[in-house]
Amino acid sequence: MAQAKDLYELLDISRDATEDEIKKAFRQQARKFHPDNKETGNEEHFKEINQAYEILSDPQKRNIYDQYGLSGLKSAYGNAEAFNFGFGDLSEIFSQFFGETKVHRAAGPERGMDLRYELETDFLEAINGCTKEITVQSHEDCKVCKGSGARPGSKLKICRSCNGLGEVRRVQESFFGHVTQITTCPSCQGNGKIVEQECTECKGKGQELTKKTIDVKVPCGVDDGARLRWGGKGEAGRKGGPPGDLYVIIQVKEHEIFTRDGQNIIIEQKISFAQAALGGTIKVPSIEGEKPLHIPGGVQSGTVLKIPGLGVPKLNNPARRGDQLIQITVETPNKLSGEERKIFEQLAKIQEEKGGKKFGIF
């Protein structure tokens, strides 16, 4: 399947299309390219359109796709889950056409949903790494029924609507002729069994929306916008399915002194006229506290000096670090004491005698 194509282009919609617009565009395109359409049918293209719709019609998948593209979806869901259409069962596609019944695959274990959390850290916390406690809303197994949805002690019985199959079939008239739709049994949600008495705590759902607290270890060197993933820290799965993953998006606050440029840390340092002319050693702030910096005599405003190895540790390889860069600004004095004025006047005279530029201080 060609996956390089842009999903929005495939459906011929804009990136901010509404759910309705997506649905409408999909129906139009799918009718045009369905393999049964003798004039314009194109099976390959039809599959691509379905892939695009599968992703864009699911707000969570669409969100991931918008931000991280198809590769992001693959890492979030795995190949099979992100691109989940077996073409053995076209009824699923037709159900999307007519939007009447939501079709699920036969009820089996369901993976829990992924959780997403935006975590703000201070500049130095991101540089040095930190552990943060976060609280997220998450669907977890009900404590009373432990996920079964049944009142403790009550039994399960075979669903009479589907005779325990978990799915119901029906033939439907469609644009393309008769189509057999296999849909999840609405009585038992595909379980094939229903509980005699629902758990009163979760009203039979088996899960509850609760707050859970997770310690998140932010590795040193993490940058603004970084996306960290913790497998299995998402919502609980259903029917024995695995839990989802937790995604933490890092937002790094600005620092009043330091700015980051890749692995380097940049500061601006003002020095006096005399320091610039004479040179010397000054103290500058660094992420490890104050450090000495040698200023060469005659340094110009705009010069960038470097302290090697005092930059940002490389993510996953903290032994490797960038440098600290110091942008020098030479400050011209704007208020002179009488004594300073005399010295500058003397200096001007000397420089004039040397044939230098006239300062015009007379």
Q: Provide the binding-site residues for Zn ion, judged by CB under 5 A.
A: 142, 144-145, 159, 161-162, 185, 187-188, 199, 201-202
| Least separation in angstroms between CB 198 and Zn ion | 8
| Least separation in angstroms between CB 254 and Zn ion | 46
| Least separation in angstroms between CB 50 and Zn ion | 27
Tokens of 211: 């707050």
Q: Which is nearer to Zn ion, 211 or 335 (CB)?
A: 211
Q: Which is nearer to Zn ion, 153 or 289 (CB)?
A: 153
CA distances from 168 to 101, 165, 180, 272 (A): 11, 8, 10, 84
Task: Tell me how many degrees the CA angle 354-358-362 measures, rounded to the nearest 5.
Answer: 115
Q: What is the dihedral of CA 183, 189, 195, 197, to 10 degrees?
A: -120
Do 216 and 229 form a contact (C-beta atoms < 8 A)?
no
- How far is it, in rounded angstroms, from Cα 37 to Cα 42? 8
Q: Which is nearer to Zn ion, 210 or 269 (CB)?
A: 210
| Least separation in angstroms between CB 75 and Zn ion | 33
Q: Which is nearer to Zn ion, 159 or 284 (CB)?
A: 159
Do 253 and 277 form a contact (C-beta atoms < 8 A)?
no
Would residue 341 be called left, alpha or beta, if left means φ above 0 and alpha means ψ between -120 and 50 degrees?
A: alpha
| Least separation in angstroms between CB 91 and Zn ion | 18
| Least separation in angstroms between CB 23 and Zn ion | 28
Give the burial class of 215: count Cβ atoms within 10 A of its Cβ; 0-12 exposed, 13-18 middle, 19 or more buried.
exposed
Q: Which is nearer to Zn ion, 159 or 248 (CB)?
A: 159
Would residue 206 be called left, alpha or beta, if left means φ above 0 and alpha means ψ between -120 and 50 degrees?
A: left
Query: H/E element holding 80?
Result: helix 59-82
- How far is it, in rounded angstroms, from Cα 10 to Cα 32? 13
Do 278 and 297 form a contact (C-beta atoms < 8 A)?
yes
Q: Which is nearer to Zn ion, 127 or 202 (CB)?
A: 202
Q: Which is nearer to Zn ion, 162 or 271 (CB)?
A: 162
Strands 289-295 and 280-286: antiparallel
Q: How far apart are the first and last CA of the chain?
A: 81
| Least separation in angstroms between CB 153 and Zn ion | 13
| Least separation in angstroms between CB 150 and Zn ion | 8
- How far is it, in rounded angstroms, from Cα 329 to Cα 302? 6
Q: Which is nearer to Zn ion, 162 or 295 (CB)?
A: 162
Q: Which is nearer to Zn ion, 71 or 200 (CB)?
A: 200
Tell me phi and psi for residue 228, to 5 degrees.
-105, 145
Tell me how crowded residue 144 is: count the other CB atoms within 10 A of its CB. Answer: 15
- How far is it, in rounded angstroms, from Cα 69 to Cα 27? 23
Q: Which residues pair with 158 in a beta bridge?
A: 193
Q: Which is nearer to Zn ion, 159 or 295 (CB)?
A: 159
| Least separation in angstroms between CB 183 and Zn ion | 11
| Least separation in angstroms between CB 205 and Zn ion | 7
